[in-house]
Chain A
Amino acid sequence: MTNCPECEATVPNHDKIPGEVFPCIDCGTELEVLKTDPFAVQPAPKEAEDWGE
């Protein structure tokens, strides 16, 4: 178990593997598993979006 680096929500391990990408249940940030012992994640790289702003 760790915390989301963006919103600090609790992030459970749940058999995840290094390199796996999954969304934070609270803020939706795509997280990438860095390692499992100890469990650590970081925001996954993503392409910038253009909403026509």
Chain B
Amino acid sequence: MKVAIVGGSGYVGGELLRLLLRHPEVEVVQVTSDSMAGKPIGRAHPNLRKVSPLLFTPHARLQPADATFIATPHGESMGRVPEILTSGGFVFDLSADFRLRDPEQFPRYYGRSHPRPDLLSTAVYGLPEFHRDAIRTASIVAVPGCIATASILALRPLVEAGFVDPEHVVVDAKSGSSASGRDSGPAGLHAERSGVMRAYAPSGHRHTAEIEQETGAHVALTCHGVEAVRGVLATVHAYVTRDVDEKELWRTYRAAYGSEPFVRIVHESDGFFREPEPKILAGTNYCDVGFAADPHAHRVVALAALDNLVKGAAGAAVQCLNLRAGFSETTGLDFLGLHPI
């Protein structure tokens, strides 16, 4: 299968290249970047130097491919997707442009109206754990946001189980600096970022809309930037409507994820890594999900950890490609991570 990557010079583009260049069923035939046009991919992604002769090409020279991955900033893929679809291939959009089914949500969270609301209903939200069958036939797969992925995987089983109040859910998320992208501006300078525990979105974070769409809960989301390059940890506080013990939580999460290849239930009574921890997931496509009952506060705490650039972006896109193309779902995603790291 021949694939192209639009916007390949950013961090997500680099992770797409890292995964797809070693994918046994895929040939990366083109990667575009206006800012890096003519330069080898190793110039933007030094971990990839001398592993491929690919050079970045301008966006305007994009050629049709069997599948096209779009890793451009929010707002740019809206204009590209219709033309790509006419070439007959399918699209994996890693921006937010096709994640929300309700076009009325776009002005609220992205400051503009969606130019092609007719396409929103055809896009499939690319979270295999809940949309596997729809992804297999989708022409547009909207890859979820990183904080949204972690939050949804932690929260949705609780809502579906029916023992938490869906109108009062709090999500507290921490993320590493790479989640802001390569062009994050002065806020990402070492002098400004090093050592922070920064509440960069106490309320109103854009991923709120995705989480609510995919869980049906009314969510209060607060996001912090912390001293890490990669990683997201989402801590969900959900208030129970009846008594719930940890055995029931085990049953709930086993029912949701017991056969999932990339979601692990982590809630251990011993060892250093008892609950989900992003540190050991760097580079992997795993999302570790954990929980604790808190009868004192009539609460369940659910936790989810992932690498924002992999299960939170490029790895999820490759997982969706595998489903869409009929490959084994785990193909090219078998990296187990590093410890210590």
Contact = CB atoms under 8 A, between A and B. Distances in A.
Contact of B250 (A8, A30, A46): A8
A28 B271 contact: yes
A28 B269 CA distance: 5
B251 A6 contact: no
B268 interface: yes
Interface string B253-287: 00000000000010111110010000000000000
B339 to A, nearest CB: 16
B42 to A, nearest CB: 42
A23 B247 CA distance: 17
A30 B271 CA distance: 11
A26 interface: yes
The 9 lowest CB-CB distance pairs between A and B, nearest first, are: A28-B268, A7-B250, A29-B269, A28-B270, A28-B269, A8-B247, A27-B268, A8-B250, A27-B269
14 contacts: A6-B269, A7-B247, A7-B250, A7-B267, A8-B247, A9-B250, A23-B270, A27-B267, A27-B268, A28-B270, A28-B274, A29-B269, A29-B270, A46-B270
A26 B250 CA distance: 10
Interface size class of B (residues with CB under 8 A): 10 to 19
B271 A27 contact: no
A5 to B, nearest CB: 9
B246 interface: yes
A26 B267 CA distance: 8
Nearest to A6: B269
Contacts of B271: 28
A8 B271 CA distance: 20
B270 A7 contact: no
B291 to A, nearest CB: 11
Nearest to B274: A28
Interface string A4-35: 00111100000000000001001111100000
Contacts of B274: 28
A8 B270 contact: no
A28 to B, nearest CB: 3
A46 B269 CA distance: 11
Nearest to A5: B247
B266 to A, nearest CB: 9
A8 B269 contact: no
Contact of B265 (A6, A26, A29): A26
Contacts of A30: 269-270
B251 A8 contact: yes
Interface in B214-262: 246-247, 250-251
Given A6-B246, A30-B270, 9 more contacts: A6-B247, A7-B246, A7-B247, A7-B250, A23-B270, A28-B269, A28-B270, A28-B274, A29-B269
